[in-house]
Every structure is written in structure tokens, then in C-alpha cells.
Chain A
């Protein structure tokens, strides 16, 4: 079989499959090693190499920005990416293949949690070093992580439950404002809220309380939407939730004590990378736990056939309301983080454009899949940044991409796939060896 397929294929695809085969048994651990080496390498030789190649500075987003701004620099940028990222990652991942697989296996046998922790620490180290090069990267990464939280939580409603909810920006706004009011009024000497009530060194420790408070307010908002709209199925939720989003926006615009349309600023800088990273991990972990439990899978049953779900002892009404509040909670937490990353928040941020962005991420990444939402949120927010030099054309390029995805994969890139952490981090065997 192997022989015939390679004989039939053209040399180009033959090369591609050979490369793919070379890396097919690299475990996640190996890739993480490779990327870690690459980002360390960039830290050390990035600047001189960029100079030597005639680049003004280290390309922030893998050279997309530079290449789009100055097409003359395309070859040297590509060379930079090749030398700093592709080659080192490829070589290290391939060379550490055997030890990485052994290590991954040993860690999993020793302790599942420990193994996950090691992977997360490695991932964080990569993020930390990668963002150490420029503040722009740091900001982009933080927004990407927040986008992941929002997208995964929206997928619970639009994907797992199969309803169409439009109020996620509204929930984000509720969370953002609640958390901001919490931190600004308690810990900052501010013209709007007066003297700080608590010493500011306590702030970072109490910050999670503010975020959770924001999430709870968002969940309460969700309850208000859920009570009337879950009496029947269909488009009601879409309409009511859209209305809710606009109500929240104009409510905040008319609340003078949070600054009205001018917005609320001077949030303390507590949403640093470790904080955002940790919240994102917790968010994904909890949501993934939920959708894989029978209580969470009841959402799928409700989506596919509500009558049957109800007749099979599933309390459909309660399940729907709880899931909606749960999703809103995480949107609220993400909103709180968003406000503190930016250090400023205004109602106009949480409008129809935000909604379009989040919906695009959900449907691009794939319905009913935590995995898909992570991919969708990452790729669209990075793409959004990378295509920034195109200015207006960015808003043509991204929708075009979405349309293409909708044509060729109507449910999104990675739909209906379970996010199984154990499968992800386990060692990979060579093909055929398992049997």
C-alpha cells in the first residue's frame, strides 16, 4: 500500500508526506521543547540577526507586518523566520523525538496532573520569553488569550447547546465594568470614586474576587435574558440577546458614575501575562470538564432532540438556563481581564463589531468543540493583527476567509471534536507499531 501511494504521487506531495512522516511521532512535549529553544534563540541572537538581514527590528508577528508594509523585505523576513523559528523548532523536535516520547510516557504514568502541569509551565515559559521581545507581542498575546476565553464560552451556547446567542459583548461589558468599578473604587485614588479604600498592595490578591464578581453580574444578566427566551426554541434567543447587548451598551452610556460614553479609566495594571494565562487555563479546564460530563452533554441532547432529552429525565429548562449563565460568567471574567489589560474601558468597545468578531471566531474554529474555539480565536485574532497593514482591506480578507470556510467546512475547522487533554499530551507511537 505504502509503495503504491508514493509511486502515484507527484514528487512535491511525496516530499510533503515525507516531511510529515518525519514529524508524525513528535509528541506535544517535543514541539514545546523546540519552540522553547527557538524563542530563547531569538532572545539571544534575534536583534543582531535582524540587523544583519537588513530588518529594522525583530519581526514582531512572524514578519507579517513587515512583509505587508515593505514588500522589499519579504525575502529577508522569511529567512529570519526560517532561521529563528522553523529550522530550530524542526531540528529540536526531531532530535528530541525519542527522549521526549519516553519522558512524556513516564510523566503520564507517574501522574496525569503533574504531566499537564509540566506542559503548561513549558507553554507559559514560551509565552513569557516570546513576549519579552516587544510590548506589542505581549498585548497581542493577552488579547488573544482573552479572545479564547470568550470564544470557548460562547461555543457552549452557540455550539454545544445549538442556540444562537448575541449578547456575549454585553456580558463582557458587565464583567468589565463591574471588575473595573471594584478595583478602581477600592484601590485607586481616582477623581470619580475618590480616595482608595484599601491599601494598593492587597489589590493583586483581591483581583480574582473582582473578576468573579464581574462574572457573577454577567451571569445575572444572562438569567434576565434566559427567563423569557428559553420558553420556546428558535430565533427568540437571538433577538432577545441582541436587544440585551444594546440595552447594556446604552445603559452604561447613560450611567454617569462610571463615566458614561467617555468610559472608565485608570484600572491598575494587574492583568499581567501570568494572570491572564492562568485564568485562560482555568476557563478552558472548567468548560472542558463541563461539556464532557453527562450534565454538560445534556446540552447536546437538548440541541439534537429536546423532546427526547426531556423524556429521558433531563431537566431541559434548568440545564439551558444554567449553561447560559455559565457561559456568561466566563464572558464576564474575560471582560474584566480585558478592561485591566487595556487600563481603559468604554461602552463603544462592546458593540456589534465585537459581536461579529466573537461569532466569527466561534464559527471559524468549529462548533461543539473547545479545541476548535481555541484554534478559531487564536487564528482570527493573530490574523487580525497580522493583516493590520492592509487597513480597510483587512475587513475584506477576513470575511472572505470565513466564507471559504463556510463553503468547504460548514461547521467550522475543527467541529465536533472532543478536547481530550490526555490524548493531546500522551507520547506518540510510530504508525503501525501500536498494532
Chain B
């Protein structure tokens, strides 16, 4: 039984078919990649699975739970953590607050706790803070906890997103171009973090990436998406040598 099961997912933006008959199965603890040229619909697939858009057709299941029709926060609470391609951080909040915020659904003290500061609230907030510090240490920005996120360098902002997604205890982590815009050094650090996280939590990871180096090194299985359709699926070697993939990326002449 796979952990995440997507079947025949199709989505239209008005008349434009963005994703067509997309299938995906992620096993527990697996790292999978999704590559494809710009505009192929990779981020749309992320948004469809995480509930930001609703698929026009098809089914998405996490374990035995159906995710289609749920709100993004419900899907997130069910165990789908994600980061964003264009860094959606909260600009007036500091790093620590980010990582505490994504534990929102675990705060069960309710409004009474929020209004009157009950002991239950104090305990839960303290637990959340402790966990947040732990995760910040894990991704290597423990010393930046009280900084406002806007003051951080780009690489550190990416790590905040990572820690924020991890704080919600996901079963699967969706990483939308985790190394976009990074220099080679930051890239290597980020890959190390992804590996650590994978090993430590036994997480399944699904990542979109443009840099083939990252995908080839990290992923067990890769899908290639072109114009909303999967044209190839397989191990990194298979993908690398697939003529359709080369065609999509480099054009017909490259094959000849």
C-alpha cells in the first residue's frame, strides 16, 4: 500500500489543460523527483495535491484518506508538508515564530487558552518552542531564531521554509525547487539537509527541481513532465538516457 496515491488527476485552468491524467505513487521513505521544462505544470501538481487548487478530475489519497475537496490546512494537518518555489515567508515574523506557527494544528488549548493564558497553553507553547529550536538546529540556523526572516540571506530563508514544513510532522515533504537561486556551496548544504531530514524522520520526499545534479543524486525515481503530461518515469539513469527527455529539454537535434 503506497503512502500517497494519485490517480488520473486532471486540471483545467479555464480552457487550458494544465495537467492531464497524472498518476503518482509514493512509498513510505521514498525520495521522488519531478522534472520538466518551465511551464510544464510541476508546481500546479503540487498545488493540486496540497489543495490550493482543486483537481477537475481524478483522486488523491493519503493512506486511506481521500484528499480531494479538503482545505489546504486540512491536507497539511493530514501529513503533507511543503515549501514554496517563491519563498512564501511571513515578513513581520521572526524565524522562531515561523516554526512555531506551523504547529498551529497541534495547539489544542483553544480560544479559552488564547484569551486567558491557561497553563495548558503555556505548556503547549513551550513544547512548540522547544521543538522549533530543535528543528532550527537541525537545518543549521539555530543562532538566527530571533531574527526577522527578511534580514536573512537567501539560503537561510530556504532553510526556514524547510524547518517550518518539518515542524508540522509531515508524512511526506513536498519541496518546490529547494535549491533555486542558490550558489554551489549552498546547494551542497541544502542537499545535505535534505538527506539528514530524510534519514532522521524516515520521511517520504517529493521534490521539483531544475538542477539535474540534485535530482540525479537524491531521487530514487524521477518523473518528467512536459505540457502537463508525464512522458517518462524511471530511475535517474533511465531518465538521463531517455530520448524523449532529451528531446524535451534540448530539442530534436541533440539526439542525432
Contacts and interface: CB of A to CB of B under 8 A. Distances in A.
B50 interface: yes
B117 A297 contact: no
Contact of A313 (B73, B109, B113, B125): B73
A117 interface: no
Interface stretch (B57-65, B96-104, B244-252): B96-104
B92 A368 contact: yes
A297 B116 contact: no
A298 B72 CA distance: 15
A314 B73 contact: yes
Secondary structure call for the A interface = helix
A164 to B, nearest CB: 17
Given A304-B90, A305-B89, A311 B52 contact: yes
Interface residues of A, number: 28
Contacts of B71: 310, 315, 317
Given A286-B116, A313-B102, A294 B90 contact: no
B84 A308 contact: yes
B50 A295 contact: no
B53 to A, nearest CB: 11
B164 interface: yes
Given A297-B93, A300-B90, A308-B89, A313 B115 contact: no
B91 interface: yes
Given A312-B76, A368-B92, A298 B104 contact: yes
Contacts of A295: 104, 107, 109, 111, 113-114
Nearest to B106: A313
Contacts, number: 103
B128 to A, nearest CB: 7
Interface in A188-209: none
Nearest to A289: B117
Contacts of A314: 73, 101, 104-105
Please classify how large the interface on chain B is, using the bins under 10, 10 to 19, 20 to 34, 35 or more. 35 or more
B123 to A, nearest CB: 13
Contacts of B72: 307, 310-311
B127 to A, nearest CB: 11
Nearest to A368: B92
A53 interface: no
A293 interface: yes
A301 B164 contact: no
Interface string A308-327: 11111111110000100000
Contacts of B92: 300, 303-304, 368, 416
Nearest to A160: B92
A293 B100 CA distance: 10
13 contacts: A293-B107, A294-B128, A295-B111, A297-B97, A297-B101, A300-B92, A300-B93, A304-B91, A308-B88, A308-B90, A311-B52, A314-B104, A315-B73
Given A294-B128, A307-B72, A316-B73, 15 more contacts: A289-B117, A290-B114, A293-B121, A294-B100, A295-B114, A296-B114, A300-B93, A301-B90, A305-B89, A307-B88, A308-B84, A310-B71, A310-B72, A311-B73, A416-B92
